[in-house]
Amino acid sequence: MKITDFDLAQTLECGQCFNFEKISDNEYVVAAMGRVLHVKQEGSDLSFLNASEEDIRNIWVPYFDLDRDYSEIKNELVKAEPRLKPIIEKCSGIRILNQDFTETLISFIISQNKNIPQIKKIVRAICDGFGREAEMEYHVFPSLCELANMTEQDFRDLKTGFRAPYIMNAIEFLKKTDGESMKAMTFAQAKEALTSIKGVGDKVANCVLLFSLGFRSAFPVDVWIKRIMEEMYFGCDTPKKEIESFAAERFGKWGGYAQQYLFMYAREKS
C-alpha cells in the first residue's frame, strides 16, 4: 500500500516497541498482536508480505496508526513550538503505534533502568520461553493466560532482576482489567489505575497510556527527555513532574507526538 508521513525503521526503532527484528534495510519481522508480520518499505510503498487483506485492514493498519493524518499533527506542533520544526523534519516518519496493552505494560515495567538493547533481549527471551510459536517459527509475546501460569522465579530466570515481583503485580492487575476498560476511562482514571500497580510509576504509566491505550497527550519523562527539555527550556536540573506539566501546557493534546520526536532527537544527538 502507498503511504506518506511514515518510515518503518523510524517507527520501530524509536523506542516505543521492543519485539521486532531487522532483516535488512527497511525490512523487519514484527511480533505483535499475537501474530508475526514480515513487513518491508520501499519509498512510499509499504508491503505486508505475509498478511491477509483482512489482517492488514483489521490489525496492521490500526497497529501502525496508518489511518491518522500526521501532517496536521506536525503542523499544529510546529505552530505551538517553532523550534520543533527541524526536529520533526529529521524523524518525520515516526508514527505512534497502537500496541497490545498486556505486552506494553510488561515491556515498560522491564524497561526501567535498562537500555533498549537489553529490554529487547529480555522481551525476546520471554517470547521464546513462554509464548506461542506463530508464523515463520517466530514466537509471540505470551497471552495473559500463559503469563498467569508463570512464576516470579520464571521471570528472575529471564534476568528481569528486581522487576520480577513488579511483573507479577501487573499480571494480577491484568486479570481484573483489560485494555478496553482502560480505554473507556478518563486519562486521570487510567493513570491512577496503572500507578496502583506496585512497580508502575509515572513514567511507565505514561508510556502505557501513550503506546497502547490511545492517550496521545501522555508525555513520558525519562532520562533522555529530561535532558533535552532541560536544555531547551529550563537550563538547569528540573524535577520530572515539572517538565511533564510544562509539556502539557506547551504541547497539549499532541504531547505524546512531541515527546516521541524529542526522544529520538535527543538520542541521535548523543
d(CA 145, CA 132): 11
Nearest residue (CB) to DNA, 34 versus 201 = 201
Q: Is 129 a residue that touches DNA (CB under 7 A)?
A: no
Q: Which of residues 94-113 bind DNA (CB under 7 A)?
A: 108, 111-113
Side-chain-facing half-sphere of 144: CA atoms under 13 Å: 16
- Least separation in angstroms between residue 114's CB and DNA is 5
Residue type, 160: T
Q: Please pick, from the candidates 131, 142, 179, 220, the single residue that binds DNA as defined by CB under 7 A.
A: 220
Residue 77 interacts with DNA (CB under 7 A): yes or no: no
Q: Read off the amino acid at residue 259.
A: Q
Q: Where in 199-218 is the site for DNA (CB under 7 A)?
A: 199-205, 207
Residue 262 beta carbon to DNA: minimum distance, rounded to whole angstroms: 8
| Strand, coil or helix: 203 | helix
162 binds DNA (CB under 7 A): yes
The number of beta carbons lying within 10 Å of the beta carbon of residue 79 is 10
Nearest to 64 by CA among 81, 48, 50: 48
**CA gap 29, 182 in Å, rounded:** 29
In the complex with DNA, the residue whose CB is nearer, 168 or 197, is 197
Task: Work out whether 197 is an interface residue with DNA (CB under 7 A).
Answer: yes
Long-range CB pairs of 239-243, under 8 A, 24+ apart, other chains included: 240/202, 240/203, 241/202
Tell the smallest beta-carbon distance from residue 267 to DNA (Å): 7
Q: Is 239 in the site for DNA (CB under 7 A)?
A: yes
Cβ-based nearer residue to DNA, 145 or 236: 236
Closer CB to DNA, 118 or 143, in the complex: 118
Q: Sign (positive/negative) of CA torsion 104, 108, 109, 111?
A: positive
Q: Which residue has the cell 489511518?
A: 67
Provide the binding-site residues for DNA, judged by CB under 7 A.
14-16, 108, 111-119, 156, 159, 161-162, 195, 197-205, 207, 220-225, 239, 241, 259-260, 263, 267
